[in-house]
A and B are shown apart, each in its own frame.
Chain A
Amino acid sequence: MSDLSANQDSWLTRNKLSVAPWFFLAPALAFFAIYVVIPIFESISLSFYEWNGLYAPDGSSTAVWVGFQNYVKLWDDPNFWVSLKNNLAWLILYMLAVPAGLFIALFLNQTVPGMRFYKSMFFFPFVISQVVVGLIFGWFYNPDFGVVGSIWKALYCEETTNILGNVTFRCSRNAPDILSSPEWATYGIIFAGLWPQIAYCMILYLTGLNNVASDQIEAARLDGAKGWKMLWYVVLPQLKPATFIAVVVTVIGALRSFDMIAIMTQGGPFGSTNVLAHYMYEVAISEYGERYGYGSAVATVLFLIMLVYISYFLWRMYQDEKVSR
């Protein structure tokens, strides 16, 4: 009976269950292909050329094929290694956002009057733009008029008048110039970046905590669990999905860190705060860049690093899905 009617229907009607998802996915897939997938391959192919981004008057490209030369150069480029090292520092230190977010979330997960207000205050840094965070911290660190500078003045400087009778400060020690110090600038920026990232992890954990089964907590409490043991053996296992997402967004946030660096130091002093994403921008697109092939080589390396994480996370998600089915 069903076979008979199926034969009479059109192919579309028969297969609508399998076609419909593709139909709805099509626009997203098309844009994803145009704006993400194709540019990735284009960027990879560009990394084998030397090109200053200009076209000849007739519209033909001035790119010259150089094979793997850009990658060879990259290997000998100290700025590239500095950027890679900084990326690693970002990756490791950014992970602090996950436990910090967890503890703030645990702290905020109480019923106190006005708790919503406190929660939103803690979440605030994630809502404002990274650019604004960068600017605020740039001022904060400023040795002349920032918070750091003011505290320093109060501790080590005395107010005097200069030769013209204007007020000035004489300091027994120079104020720390965090963003201009090749050793500390990267950590200064990471610290600024942690502020919104902790807020992000916090909100992930707060929603996770809402779903913690209260009967299990109660049962654990009856069995005498409390404090760290309660957290480690009862609460954390239930927060596993939240932890997973928090780690994923933090890794990706660390690898694509760009805006804070662009705002706070532009990669300086002398390239010591560059990360791969900013270095790529600097050599390809910025005023003194104009080396698109070389920039593409940096982009390709960054892409390959990201690919490792992304494939791992996708694989994990796929495994989890299989289990839950």
Chain B
Amino acid sequence: MFRTFNLTVVAAAATALMASTALARDLVINFDDLNPGPKEGFETAVEKFKAANPDINVIVNINDREAHKTAIRNFLTADAPDVTSWYPGNRMGPFVDAGLFEPIDDVWEENGLKEDMAAIMPTMSRDGKIWGVPYSYYQWGIYYRKDIFDLLGLEEFATWDDMLAGCAKMKENGVTPFTIGVKFLWTAAGVFDYLNLRTNGYDVHNGLTAGEIKYTDPRIVATMDNWETLINECGFVDNHASMNWQDAIAPFANGDAAMYVMGNFSVDGYKNAGLTADQIDFMPFPTIDPDVPLAEEAPADAFFIPTNAKNKEDAKKFLAFIAQPDIQTEWNKTIGQLPPNAKAEISDDKFIQEGFALLNSATGLAQFYDRDAPAEMAKAGMEGFQKFMLDPSTKMEVLERLDEVAADVYK
């Protein structure tokens, strides 16, 4: 059922043997996305790295995202590559704490990344050290049907009250304001994060996910009260608990629902559902409390060096290479996301343009509830949000249960 302790020791010994026979200049890179766009972006960057470093023999392993999440737990010990893709925030926490990642402050120092990637640095750091180099990130916000807004004479919402008034108008005209599919839980966390970031701000988000603030704290209760208002006065599509995020595009594409709190990766989904660029647009989540500085959700993808890597010198070379503005520019144009390096250029896609402006003006970048909070807390939290969305009267019960879980997680 579970891997034996002994087996791993044997496996580690076997790898050590293999390592001594491998060429010194091999550079093994594990990447985690087989989708055509991301794969192409990665492979192009690797080709350029090879051209710039002809003496390094680059070996690439590309795996499916979910498979990578499982495999990394074994290969970091048993058969470590020299570079692996992974996620910052709390997601890298267990590996950092187990000593499986190599700190790379020197890469950041020598390449001026502390200035060029200043906004994302806090989320790449843990225990006062920097652990990875991000190659891409993307914004979250509200994607909306421009054509429906035009028909109803609505503008992008700047404030919470604007949004509630707009929702009332949509409902009068038979449009459900929001679509969402919470079957796989995380979509609800996006709504929670934004309500919390707008109600209380970035520090409370971090305090909550770090276990310093209780879920029954009045500030979090205020966030949930706003969520209840959102459910009652705006409202989400029916049956959202049995839909995944792609299923939830259907009512949006059909014009039954007008808005979707989502990440920029969803634009592809809208286009595949038959919507044109003119029919959809992006707006930042409106302000709730004007005194709270705007922070945004911007999950990043990054590369890390395992402690057991055999060729750390070239691995650091590769990380420095993919941090370069020109590489990040091209890579993110291919995959339709944003380059974390402030000196990089962006494509003229309107969602990318708006996202870049939004994230550069943000006072803080949150990773996402399930990346900032530890796994156990994230699971319980997102289940709680799902329960609350199905029945808002369970609000306090949910928050009290989350405090119980938190007491155990952050001891």
Give residues in A with beta carbon < 8 Å to B.
39-40, 42-43, 46, 52-59, 61-62, 73, 78, 141-144, 162-164, 166, 168, 170, 174-175, 177, 179-180, 182, 266, 268-271, 282-283, 285, 287-292, 296, 299
Q: Is there an interface contact between A174 and B238, defined as CB atoms closer than 8 Å?
A: yes
Q: Is there an interface contact between A61 and B174, defined as CB atoms closer than 8 Å?
A: no
Contact residues in A for B9 (Cβ distance below 8 Å): 59
Q: Is there an interface contact between B256 and A42, defined as CB atoms closer than 8 Å?
A: no
Given A163-B151, A166-B255, A287-B375, is A62 in contact with B390 using a C-beta cutoff of 8 Å? no
Q: Is there an interface contact between A268 and B386, defined as CB atoms closer than 8 Å?
A: yes
Given A163-B148, A177-B239, is A290 in contact with B375 using a C-beta cutoff of 8 Å? yes
Contact residues in A for B384 (Cβ distance below 8 Å): 270
Q: Is there an interface contact between B370 and A288, defined as CB atoms closer than 8 Å?
A: yes
Contact residues in A for B379 (Cβ distance below 8 Å): 282, 288-289
The answer to the question of B347 belonging to the interface, with a C-beta cut-off of 8 Å to chain A, is no
Other-chain residue from A54, A59, A179 in contact with B73 (beta carbon distance below 8 A) = A54
Rounded to whole angstroms, the CA-CA distance of A167 and B59 in the bound complex is 52
Q: Is there an interface contact between A179 and B242, defined as CB atoms closer than 8 Å?
A: yes
The answer to the question of B219 belonging to the interface, with a C-beta cut-off of 8 Å to chain A, is no
Q: Which of B271-323 contact A (CB under 8 A)?
A: 306-308
The answer to the question of B401 belonging to the interface, with a C-beta cut-off of 8 Å to chain A, is yes
Q: Is there an interface contact between B2 and A162, defined as CB atoms closer than 8 Å?
A: no
Shortest distance from the beta carbon of A283 to any chain B beta carbon, whole Å: 8
The answer to the question of B100 belonging to the interface, with a C-beta cut-off of 8 Å to chain A, is yes
Contact residues in B for A269 (Cβ distance below 8 Å): 241, 383, 386-387, 390
Contact residues in A for B386 (Cβ distance below 8 Å): 268-270
Nearest B residue to A292 via CB reads B2
Rounded to whole angstroms, the CA-CA distance of A78 and B404 in the bound complex is 11
Q: Is there an interface contact between A59 and B175, defined as CB atoms closer than 8 Å?
A: no
Given A270-B386, A287-B375, is A59 in contact with B408 using a C-beta cutoff of 8 Å? no
Rounded to whole angstroms, the CA-CA distance of A103 and B48 in the bound complex is 70
Q: Is there an interface contact between A42 and B4, defined as CB atoms closer than 8 Å?
A: yes
Rounded to whole angstroms, the CA-CA distance of A309 and B306 in the bound complex is 47
Contact residues in B for A289 (Cβ distance below 8 Å): 375-376, 379
Q: Is there an interface contact between B308 and A57, defined as CB atoms closer than 8 Å?
A: yes
Q: Which of B91-99, B120-128, B192-200, B210-218 contacts A (4 or more CB under 8 A)?
A: B91-99
Other-chain residue from B2, B13, B70, B408 in contact with A296 (beta carbon distance below 8 A) = B2
Rounded to whole angstroms, the CA-CA distance of A288 and B77 in the bound complex is 20
Given A162-B174, A163-B173, A164-B147, is A52 in contact with B94 using a C-beta cutoff of 8 Å? yes
- 29 A-B Cβ contacts within 8 A? A42-B1, A42-B4, A43-B1, A46-B2, A54-B73, A54-B76, A54-B77, A55-B8, A55-B77, A56-B99, A57-B76, A57-B99, A57-B100, A59-B8, A59-B78, A61-B5, A142-B242, A163-B151, A163-B152, A166-B254, A177-B238, A177-B239, A177-B242, A179-B242, A180-B242, A269-B241, A269-B386, A269-B387, A287-B66
Rounded to whole angstroms, the CA-CA distance of A288 and B387 in the bound complex is 18
Contact residues in B for A39 (Cβ distance below 8 Å): 1-2
Q: Is there an interface contact between A162 and B254, defined as CB atoms closer than 8 Å?
A: yes
Other-chain residue from A143, A168, A291 in contact with B376 (beta carbon distance below 8 A) = A291
Contact residues in A for B250 (Cβ distance below 8 Å): 144
Rounded to whole angstroms, the CA-CA distance of A174 and B307 in the bound complex is 55
Q: Is there an interface contact between B148 and A288, defined as CB atoms closer than 8 Å?
A: no
**Which 6 A-B residue pairs are closest in the complex by CB-CB distance?**
A180-B241, A288-B379, A164-B255, A59-B12, A270-B383, A55-B77
Contact residues in B for A61 (Cβ distance below 8 Å): 5, 8
Shortest distance from the beta carbon of B331 to any chain A beta carbon, whole Å: 26
Known: A162-B254, A163-B173. 15 other contacts (CB 8 A): A40-B1, A42-B2, A55-B8, A55-B77, A57-B99, A57-B100, A57-B308, A143-B242, A144-B239, A162-B175, A164-B147, A164-B255, A168-B255, A180-B390, A288-B375
Nearest A residue to B307 via CB reads A57
Q: Is there an interface contact between A270 and B387, defined as CB atoms closer than 8 Å?
A: yes
Nearest B residue to A76 via CB reads B404
Rounded to whole angstroms, the CA-CA distance of A78 and B375 in the bound complex is 18
The answer to the question of B69 belonging to the interface, with a C-beta cut-off of 8 Å to chain A, is yes
Which of A58, A164, A269, A288 lies at the interface centre, i.e. has the most chain B CB atoms within 10 A of its CB? Answer: A288
Given A57-B307, A163-B175, A180-B390, is A168 in contact with B1 using a C-beta cutoff of 8 Å? no
Rounded to whole angstroms, the CA-CA distance of A55 and B9 in the bound complex is 10
The answer to the question of B378 belonging to the interface, with a C-beta cut-off of 8 Å to chain A, is yes
Q: Is there an interface contact between B401 and A78, defined as CB atoms closer than 8 Å?
A: yes
Q: Is there an interface contact between B408 and A288, defined as CB atoms closer than 8 Å?
A: no
The answer to the question of B183 belonging to the interface, with a C-beta cut-off of 8 Å to chain A, is yes
Shortest distance from the beta carbon of A149 to any chain B beta carbon, whole Å: 8
Given A164-B147, A290-B375, is A56 in contact with B98 using a C-beta cutoff of 8 Å? yes
Contact residues in B for A288 (Cβ distance below 8 Å): 370, 375-376, 378-379
Shortest distance from the beta carbon of A71 to any chain B beta carbon, whole Å: 14
Q: Is there an interface contact between A143 and B94, defined as CB atoms closer than 8 Å?
A: no
Shortest distance from the beta carbon of B341 to any chain A beta carbon, whole Å: 29
Contact residues in A for B370 (Cβ distance below 8 Å): 288
Q: Is there an interface contact between A163 and B241, defined as CB atoms closer than 8 Å?
A: no
Given A162-B174, A164-B255, is A53 in contact with B4 using a C-beta cutoff of 8 Å? no
The answer to the question of B27 belonging to the interface, with a C-beta cut-off of 8 Å to chain A, is no
Given A62-B98, A288-B379, is A53 in contact with B175 using a C-beta cutoff of 8 Å? no
Which of A39, A163, A170, A179 lies at the interface centre, i.e. has the most chain B CB atoms within 10 A of its CB? Answer: A163
Given A163-B148, A268-B386, is A57 in contact with B242 using a C-beta cutoff of 8 Å? no
Other-chain residue from A53, A54, A180, A182 in contact with B239 (beta carbon distance below 8 A) = A180
Rounded to whole angstroms, the CA-CA distance of A58 and B76 in the bound complex is 10
The answer to the question of B224 belonging to the interface, with a C-beta cut-off of 8 Å to chain A, is no
Rounded to whole angstroms, the CA-CA distance of A6 and B184 in the bound complex is 72
Given A177-B242, A269-B386, A270-B387, is A162 in contact with B94 using a C-beta cutoff of 8 Å? no
